[in-house]
A and B are shown apart, each in its own frame.
Chain A
């Protein structure tokens, strides 16, 4: 038995979004449930078919219990592994295992939050860290600012490079009717944006929006029985090296440098094979770090890699094609949206933002303060 046994054995047959671009006066559970309904409709299934539940929450202590009760389902297996915003990419692994061992037949991954309309700022259940809290870091931006400052010091990365990431995300969002932030955005506007934690300005930060996402997964042997073209899980790997930023070994190298190669190995693929890339861009520095750590460019060259619109529409590499957490949506935890955008691209359903000949997508989830990293490679039927 080995990790590669899971390659191609699980198929995503339904995806759904809820609460985008905003959902005033709707609760987190209501937004999540809209996404679940859309995903099941997409798959041609009913709630009663769901017997595996994989979820997480920014507000519920026992999210599987709350979600199952609200939906009126009785899962045979639930998993709520909480590793921050990457959790939902991470849920691919227990979902694939549960399906493969016959512990369930239809797995549902879901998340929803109303924190754009409900709170207006990031809501997190994250507890203060005893040895950091006395210095009053702002969670989570201070940690990401420390990483960005170190990357700039060590590799000469510029604020303009960070701004390129924000502008590229906005240009993709302008092609996505569900994206929250679609106004024109220039490098100059990002550079002039209010500084929050040096070197990160307001426009280097992800949005705080409403939103929900859901995915329906089955064993690949029955994937062709569903209405939409299946998208297969080719490889997924998780790594985490720290919880708080002061315990991160090297602020310029995330555990994506481990999760990426393991996911590629499971999939039998390399970065050059990837057609579309969805990276968890909580802050602009994330995109640069993950492009490096996942092998799309060498360490330290992420700044140059994103310059001159190279990851924007029409660039060299299609990155964060829905507009990302920076411009599409970020309802506290963004993991489901990485997967859903990848599925829509691989199905050819992405409308004006569709990437030509998209057969292989990489989704990369981040959680905590660059803490948990989960890389997933998805492919259409041609990749099996």
Chain B
């Protein structure tokens, strides 16, 4: 556990881990639940005792949509909500298959990519038959 009220805040710590290619989640020392997005206090019980842990990198697609976009602007892309195996839900994208092939209930795992113009980005790949 780090001191919740001094030093770099949880947003900056998360971003630094991600820039280093690591997906870290906060876990509450008191209620043992995981928290995402990063916070100063546990959003389940209010405790300031949150400890960074490596994420399992496993998740399940909770919902998915295809954002329609003109081909000349880059074409259609996926936006998904993924339930992490630790509990929290996050917005992300499932790569490695066509945007409309992403299905609710699909098992996925984290992949940290270099997104042009953005830096490190946390996306997901299908667990079955996905690429690297």
* Chain A interface (Cβ < 8 Å from any Cβ of B): 130-132, 134-138, 142, 145-147, 149-150, 153, 194-199, 244-247, 251
Give the contacts of B8-39 with A (CB-CB under 8 A).
11, 36-37
**8 nearest CB pairs, A to B:** A145-B65, A150-B63, A246-B91, A146-B63, A131-B37, A198-B66, A132-B91, A153-B104
Expressed in whole angstroms, the Cα–Cα distance for A150 and B64 within the complex equals: 8
Which residues from chain A contact B81 at a C-beta distance below 8 Å?
146, 245-246, 251
Given A147-B63, A246-B81, 4 further pairs, Cβ under 8 A: A135-B91, A146-B81, A149-B104, A244-B91
Most A C-beta atoms less than 10 A away, residue of B64, B91, B104: B91
Asked whether B104 lies within 8 Å of A150 as measured between CB atoms, the reply is yes
Give the contacts of B63-103 with A (CB-CB under 8 A).
63-68, 77, 79, 81, 89-93, 100
Asked whether B65 lies within 8 Å of A136 as measured between CB atoms, the reply is no
Expressed in whole angstroms, the Cα–Cα distance for A146 and B68 within the complex equals: 14
Asked whether B63 lies within 8 Å of A149 as measured between CB atoms, the reply is yes
7 cross-chain CB contacts under 8 A: A131-B91, A136-B67, A149-B104, A150-B104, A197-B67, A198-B68, A245-B91
Q: How far is the CB of A164 from chain B (nearest CB, A)?
A: 21
Which residues from chain B contact A131 at a C-beta distance below 8 Å?
36-37, 90-91
- Count residues on chain B whose CB falls below 8 Å from chain A CBs: 24
- Asked if B52 lies at the interface with its beta carbon under 8 angstroms from chain A, I say no
Expressed in whole angstroms, the Cα–Cα distance for A136 and B62 within the complex equals: 18
Other-chain residue from A132, A137, A197 in contact with B68 (beta carbon distance below 8 A): A197
Which residues from chain B contact A138 at a C-beta distance below 8 Å?
67
Which residues from chain B contact A247 at a C-beta distance below 8 Å?
89
Which residues from chain B contact A137 at a C-beta distance below 8 Å?
67, 79, 91
Q: How far is the CB of A306 from chain B (nearest CB, A)?
A: 21
Which residues from chain A contact B62 at a C-beta distance below 8 Å?
150, 251
Q: How far is the CB of A134 from chain B (nearest CB, A)?
A: 6
Expressed in whole angstroms, the Cα–Cα distance for A198 and B68 within the complex equals: 8
**0/1 interface trace, chain B 23-60, chain A, CB 8 Å (1 if under):** 00000000000001100000000000000000000000
Expressed in whole angstroms, the Cα–Cα distance for A153 and B62 within the complex equals: 10
Asked whether B37 lies within 8 Å of A197 as measured between CB atoms, the reply is no
Q: How far is the CB of A282 from chain B (nearest CB, A)?
A: 16
